Amino acid sequence: MTALSGLIASGCVIFGVPCLPPSDASPSKLPTSEPQAILVLGGSPTREKFAAQFALQHPHLPIFVSSGSPEEYAQYVFDSAGVSRSRIHLDYRAVDTVTNFTIMVTEFEKRKITDVYVITSDFHMPRAMIIGKIVLGSRGIEMHPIAIPSKIQSENPAKTLRDGLRSVFWLVTGS
């Protein structure tokens, strides 16, 4: 995993992408802004269920669900938790984790959102962090990870490498 992070970080440096805070950043210099939205990465109904409860603790934040459960079920989950439908934005354009971020980054820019909570499963979070740091970070958007515990140990590191490189490719080509 260290080699993988180094490879992706090298790509970020080559292309001038801000993947990590500056090396002289001390805790007092790191951003302290509060997230302005919740992004839920699709892939498991558990993520929407968790996000509905999380949203109750953050009643002012809009919730963006990227390629999650079918609309009727997602609405049922949020309705059952008492989350207003006016806060929920369901988007089904993404086909994978990279497109979750590349599609939603444009939406966040339009809404002038600069900080987001990102909710996904714990096993998926390392890959989501790499992609998010590259894609969201390239537009100055900070991500605040919220990992949901699962029984899955970890993903294949090759997926993280592949998607990290795809994210860098997206930066260079725009597609």
Per residue in 134-160, pLDDT (tens digit) is: 999 999 999 999 999 999 989 999 999
Assign 174 a pLDDT band (cuts: 50, 70, 90).
confident
The pLDDT tens digits of the residues spanning 53-71 come to 999 999 999 999 999 999 9
88, pLDDT greater than 90: yes
pLDDT for the residue 175: 84
| Centroid of chain to Cα 15 | 21
117, pLDDT greater than 90: yes
Rounded distance, CA 30 to CA 125, Å?
21
pLDDT for the residue 7: 52
**Percent share of the chain, pLDDT over 90:** 79
Mean pLDDT of 50-54: 98
Rounded distance, CA 52 to CA 32, Å?
25
In 52-114, beta strands by DSSP E: 63-66, 88-91
Neighbouring CB atoms inside 10 A of 53's CB total: 12
All structural domains of the chain: 32-173 (3.40.50.620)
Which of 16-25, 78-87, 88-97, 130-139 is predicted with the least confidence, judged by mean pLDDT? Answer: 16-25
Q: Is the CB of residue 44 less than 8 Å from the CB of residue 121?
A: yes
33: tokens are 């802004």
Which of 16-25, 47-56, 88-97 is predicted with the least confidence, judged by mean pLDDT? Answer: 16-25
| Choice between 4 and 169, residue whose per-residue pLDDT is larger | 169
The pLDDT tens digits of the residues spanning 11-46 come to 554 445 444 433 333 344 444 689 999 999 999 999
What's the mean pLDDT when you consider all of the chain?
Answer: 88
